[in-house]
Amino acid sequence: MPEIKPDPELETRELGPDPNYPYPNENMRRVCFIKNVITRPNIVVGDYTYYDDPAGAEDFEQHVTHHYEFYGDTLIIGKFCAIATGIQFIMNGANHQMKSVTTYPFSIMRHGWEKVTPTLADLPFKGDTVVGNDVWIGQNVTVMPGIHIGDGAIIAANSTVTRDIPAYHIAGGNPCRIIRPRFSAELIDYLLELQWWDWPAEKIFANLEILTSGDLERVKTIEPHTGSTPGQDEVKAAQVTEIFESETKVWRNEEEFFAGIPEFKPKHDPSVN
């Protein structure tokens, strides 16, 4: 990887680390802004999203497996996500045929077996894998193909995510299930409209105390950002947001989320209002 230096202007302004430099803290290189180390065209990552791995955070792409360009699927991760050690994004190339008598992939072994090479239409395809903005993913989480994780969601350590997770909900387990919403439905709606992750560095810096506090009423005092003409990075981030919002439904509670799935009847959780 060519040497990349921080933007001295941004450092002088002290509005936060340079999102275009891999290491926000030179003394803690286990944390890396991963958009700066991505080489695959089918992985898109927003500003300030980091991967934490003492064995080498720069090797994030090694944790995105079975990701073949001919499948046409993309891993999309928004801004300000925190991804812990041991993440595994399994993409569509891992899927085997399940409608045939055997799931064994004869064709990839060659030596004549390629005569039964399936077409793409024969293979299961779950679509893009999409992680929203401000998502926290704990250690050793596995995300299955085509999963959508909403803005502000939290995924507990050692989870296997096999279903979409709604915005601002906590989920965990194997398979991963919703534990509870983080906030009221009203506040979730407000935060999704606020989209603080799209603010310029100056506005984020000015509101850090509110964003990092537990005073949720103060959050409602922030005026939405109207913004100016976006630069290249902002346009790319907007495209990520557009893809995410167009492909992901925001569920408000566990009952609505699992509606239409007859084999699963969630138990009532008294902590969910």
| CB-based contact 77:44 (threshold 8 Å) | yes
Torsion-angle region of 173 (φ positive above 0: left; ψ -120 to 50: alpha; else: beta):
left
> Among the options 63, 66, 67, 96, which is catalytic?
96
* Numbers of helices and strands, H then E, in the chain: 7, 15
What is the C-alpha separation between 138 and 153, in angstroms, rounded?
Answer: 11
Strand ranges of the sheet holding 64-65, from the earlier edge strand across to the other edge: 64-65, 88-90, 142-143, 160-161
- How many CB atoms are closer than 10 A to CB 25? 9
96 is catalytic: yes
Pairing assessment for the beta strands 160-161 and 169-172 based on DSSP bridges: unpaired
Max alpha carbon distance in the chain (Å)? 68
Beta carbons of 136 and 155 less than 8 angstroms apart? yes
Say how far apart CA 153 and CA 67 lie, in whole Å. 24
Residue 205 neighbours by CB under 8 Å, 6+ apart: 15, 16
Residue 206 has, within 13 A of its CA and on its CB side, a CA count of: 9
Which tokens in the block code for residue 100?
Answer: 């045939």
CB 165 within 8 A of CB 155: yes
Rounded CA-CA distance 167/153 in Å is 5
Catalytic annotation, residues: 96
